[in-house]
Structure 1
């Protein structure tokens, strides 16, 4: 979606600036859709309670995200919750303002369709990665994405971050369980790909560039 938006709000004349503290919800699963959000800084988790009552993180949104397009155009209720993993800033576009603008200016509708298309492509890409890449690569890719947004890069190229979600949440995101993640992290640490203490993780640049990664099966 960043290719569509960059980091700007797509409808600035309709929007109100917002700031949400870490841990607070932008909206809850089942709430009526009151509008859409454009994320300027911070990270937001889209999460859903499954049929067993377990909370699962479906996706982590980064700056440049405009969401939730599907809910905005759909049934009128939020299918998932949006929770700030870090302090968040951005803008909020009320649904009534957006609907009025869509009737007055057809180009607004085209812009919203492009944003919805970008959201669908991102979801398809996430499903593809889940089905086509092996578990170590999925874990490293997810950690790298989070570190690029909220971590720090050392002079030697290493990326460090404090994970904004639990290891259990990360396991659910990459399609496995916490016990498997625990074993995999030890193997990745043993091979020099990363080091970790609690939720503080360092991804080692030198080892990530050394040819074909070892097998973790």
Structure 2
């Protein structure tokens, strides 16, 4: 369905190669279109007042991003940056009304995605308030390696995504290595087996 939709937008799209760590767009810029990940991985980063970036969302192949700011006619509140060498499709439209005229199917699909992302954001906010750092770290490791196993995830990225400081992540991952949940000899966090990790998550009653 996604490929068929993009074919119908031939006059409004361009394909761009983005190198690892290269920004697709920066926070504060005006939204003039949105994007689709054809290949690679893109991270959405929140930038603090002192310039520090924190990983908020991850977009892999088949994902759209950057469209919410287009819908609301606001500037980008975050920075999108390639986490791997990526191929990105830029859809050049000025506003939601234009998109709805050109491709009502895609407009409808993205409206559903907005609702889904809002629900996910509310869920993560609840988890930050309700669950311990250990549970958030476990959930994040499982999500990252289940969804994007090809990426070399770092302790820092796990910390940013789980709302936990890097030191706490490293300390807890050392415990997980000790009990055989993570690879003992790997410098980076690497699950021994995803099913084992899933079973371990279920076995713990971490509040």
TM-score of the pair, normalised by structure 1: 0.76
Q: Name the Cα RMSD after superposition.
A: 3.0
Partner in structure 2 of residue 176 of structure 1: 164
Q: Secondary structure at the match of 2:190?
A: strand
Equivalent of 2:118 in 115, 120, 124: 120
Structure 2 CA distance, aligned partners of 1:168 and 1:104? 41
* Distance of aligned partners of 1:193 and 1:105 in 2 relative to their CA distance in 1, 3 Å threshold: closer
* Distance of aligned partners of 1:147 and 1:9 in 2 relative to their CA distance in 1, 3 Å threshold: farther
**Residues 73, 95 of structure 2: 8 Å contact kept:** no
Shift of 1:35: 0.9
Equivalent of 1:74 in 72, 75, 80: 72
> What are structure 2's unaligned runs of at least 5 residues?
none
Question: Counterparts of 1:44-193 in structure 2 under 5 Å?
Answer: 44-96=42-94, 99-103=97-101, 107=105, 109-151=107-149, 162-163=152-153, 166-193=154-181
From the two aligned structures, give the one with the greater helix fraction: 2
What are the Cα deviations for residues 67-99 of structure 1, in whole angstroms up to 9, with x where unaligned?
123211124311100001012224211123865
Alignment pair present for 1:212 and 2:194? no
Partner in structure 1 of residue 190 of structure 2: 201
Structure 2 CA distance, aligned partners of 1:114 and 1:142? 24
Alignment pair present for 1:12 and 2:7? yes
From the two aligned structures, give the one with the greater strand fraction: 1
**Residues 45, 58 of structure 1: 8 Å contact kept:** yes
**Residues 9, 38 of structure 1: 8 Å contact kept:** no
Equivalent of 2:36 in 29, 38, 58: 38
Structure 2 CA distance, aligned partners of 1:142 and 1:200? 11
**Residues 192, 204 of structure 1: 8 Å contact kept:** no
171-180 vs 194-203, which moves further? 194-203
Question: Counterparts of 1:20-31 in structure 2 under 5 Å?
Answer: 20-31=18-29
